[in-house]
């Protein structure tokens, strides 16, 4: 990754991203966002986020449109603490304010998960509510889960105590037989997550305060995958890790990675849930150029293949007698013919075409003027009345 004098990443050259959704639309409740947060000191932070709505698409769209603006405003207003501390504080304040603004401006009870990563120089800050998991893949093969999974079934002991203290209960839906079915849910409301944006008609135990963290990323590059549960429920993280490692090849990148993930998911997510993935790919431009040069050098060092002579693809005719056969069929191992062909390939081809044409006029023909006794021509070659035509 290119580092300038003030140890900040050159985002324009080093970072690329790509997102993908399934080709069919089920509920249409997923959203995503990418934007640059330009600061007064001339620096820029890049923000990437995915949002998985439930009960409607309004909360996800609202968060995708307003959360970046709120994070930027709170970070600009902060004056105390280091840059990373101010950014983490801005994320917490922005998530909570976004939740309040949506509740105040909407009478609907829908909500959304929110998972955001912010790249600031060599620091990566993550903030999330809900179960839209974020993964960081490092060049050495290390995989790190960013943020916290707030699914009720995967709650930590600390999260469990917080929910219970707020007066909520945890259980499953009762099926037709009266037996509990489905995932664990938070009541009242029946949510499957303990934290989200929106869900104003659900229990107060579901809050919008995100889990935030900051870590330093290496200058050699990294890959971040943000995805909704419509992706993670149908693909193993180990497989995503293998794809992320493969995507670092010179001709791959985030577009290849997002498509590869969605191809795997589309074969298993049989129109059960919306699926969205956003891949962020940071590379070292110098290392990428060196790898591309090595690939080109290896390709140039390979021995070139040989080109087959057009003589080998001439059609033969079954003539009436031996004399006619000798007249129109050139021996394959004739040294005279070889020297003539190599010296003037065009002359040899014209001669063959003229010979074939003369014999065709004397041979019995089918409708259309084609000779009756053509032998099968090789694949990729079409026979005509005037000779051979490559297709």
**Across residues 45-54, what is the average pLDDT?**
96
Measure the CA–CA gap between 289 and 250, rounded to whole angstroms.
8
- CA 136-138-143 angle, 5° bins: 50
Is 59 or 107 the better-scoring residue by pLDDT?
59
Lowest mean pLDDT among 74-83, 177-186, 204-213: 177-186
**Given this model, what pLDDT does residue 128 score?**
98
CA distance 4 to 376: 66
Whether the ω angle into residue 46 lies within 30 degrees of 0, i.e. cis, is no
CATH 3.60.40.10 residue window(s) in the chain: 11-151+193-293
Determine contact, residues 34/278, Cβ cutoff 8 Å. Answer: yes
Own/partner pairs, 292-301, CB within 8 angstroms, 24+ separation:
292/250, 295/250
Across 51-67, average pLDDT = 94
Count how many residues are written for the chain: 391
Mean pLDDT of the chain: 78
Is residue 49 within 8 A of residue 33, CB to CB? The reply is yes
Q: What is the DSSP letter of 226?
A: E
Instruction: Output DSSP code: residue 365.
Output: B
Which ranges in the chain belong to alpha helices (H)?
Answer: 11-14, 58-77, 83-105, 157-165, 229-232, 237-246, 254-266, 285-301, 322-328, 335-343, 345-362
d(CA 97, CA 311): 78
Question: In 3-state terms, what secondary structure has residue 172?
Answer: strand
Read off the pLDDT of each residue in 322-344 and give the average, rounded to a whole number.
45
Give yes or no for a cis peptide into 188 (omega within 30° of 0): yes
pLDDT of 291 reads: 59
3-state SS class at 372:
coil
Q: Which residue has the higher pLDDT, 3 or 103?
A: 103
Q: Does residue 390 carry a pLDDT above 70?
A: no
Q: Which residue has the higher pLDDT, 366 or 55?
A: 55
Lowest mean per-residue pLDDT among 74-88, 112-126, 249-263, 324-338: 324-338
pLDDT over 80 (residue 168): yes
Which is higher by pLDDT, 22 or 379? 22
* pLDDT, tens digit, 9 for 90 and up, residues 74-118: 999 999 999 999 999 999 999 999 999 999 987 678 999 999 999
> Which three-class secondary structure state does DSSP give residue 267?
coil
Task: Summarize the confidence of residues 148-153 as an average pLDDT.
Answer: 94
Task: Give the 3-state secondary structure of residue 218.
Answer: coil
In this model, does residue 381 exceed pLDDT 80?
no
CA distance 274 to 233: 11
* pLDDT tens-digit series, residues 290-329: 656 766 777 777 665 555 555 544 555 555 544 444 444 4
Other CB atoms within 10 A of residue 271 CB: 11
Rg of the chain (C-alpha set): 33
Six-digit token string for 350: 């014209």
Q: What is the pLDDT of residue 47?
A: 97
- Please name the fold of domain 11-151+193-293: Phosphatase 2c; domain 1 (3.60.40)
- Tokens 């010179």 found at: 250
Using one digit for the tens of pLDDT, what is the confidence trace for 343-361?
Answer: 444 444 444 444 444 444 4
| Stretch 188-214: mean pLDDT | 93
Supply the pLDDT for residue 199: 92
Does the pTM of the predicted model rise above 0.75?
Answer: no
pLDDT band at 269 (very low <50, low <70, confident <90, very high): low
pLDDT of residue 15: 82
């Amino acid at each position: 990754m290119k580092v300038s004098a003030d140890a900040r990443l050159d985002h324009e050259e080093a970072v690329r991203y790509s997102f993908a959704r399934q080709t069919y639309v089920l509920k249409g409740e997923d959203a995503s966002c990418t934007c640059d947060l330009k600061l007064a000191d001339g620096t820029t932070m890049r923000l990437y986020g995915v949002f998985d709505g439930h009960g409607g698409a309004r909360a996800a769209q609202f968060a995708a449109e307003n959360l970046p603006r709120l994070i930027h405003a709170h970070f600009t207003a902060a004056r105390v603490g280091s840059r990373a501390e101010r950014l983490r504080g801005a994320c917490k304040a922005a998530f909570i304010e976004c939740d309040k603004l949506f509740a105040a401006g909407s009478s609907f009870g829908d909500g959304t998960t929110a998972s955001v990563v912010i790249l600031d120089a060599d620091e990566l800050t993550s903030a999330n509510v809900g179960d839209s998991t974020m993964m960081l893949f490092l060049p050495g093969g290390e995989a790190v889960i960013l943020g916290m999974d707030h699914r009720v079934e995967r709650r930590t002991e600390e999260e469990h105590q917080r929910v219970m203290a707020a007066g909520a209960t945890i259980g499953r839906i009762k099926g037709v037989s009266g037996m509990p079915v489905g995932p664990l849910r938070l009541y009242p409301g029946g949510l499957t997550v303990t934290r989200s944006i929106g869900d104003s008609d659900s229990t107060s135990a579901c809050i919008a305060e995100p889990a935030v963290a900051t870590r330093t990323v290496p200058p050699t590059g990294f890959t971040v995958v943000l995805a909704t549960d419509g992706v993670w429920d149908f693909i193993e993280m180990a497989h995503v890790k293998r794809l992320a490692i493969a995507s670092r090849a010179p001709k791959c990148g985030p577009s290849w990675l997002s498509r590869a993930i969605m191809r795997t998911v589309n074969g298993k997510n049989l129109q059960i849930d919306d699926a969205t993935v956003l891949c962020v790919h940071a590379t070292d431009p110098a290392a990428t150029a060196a790898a591309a040069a090595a690939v080109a050098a290896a390709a140039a060092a390979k021995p070139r293949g040989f080109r087959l002579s057009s003589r080998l693809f001439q059609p033969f005719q079954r003539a009436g007698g031996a004399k006619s056969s000798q007249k129109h069929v050139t021996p394959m191992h004739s040294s005279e013919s070889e020297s003539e062909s190599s010296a003037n390939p065009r002359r040899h081809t014209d001669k063959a075409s003229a010979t074939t044409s003369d014999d065709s006029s004397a041979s019995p023909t089918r409708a259309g003027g084609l000779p009756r006794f053509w032998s099968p021509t090789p694949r990729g070659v079409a026979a005509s009345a005037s000779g051979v035509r490559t297709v």
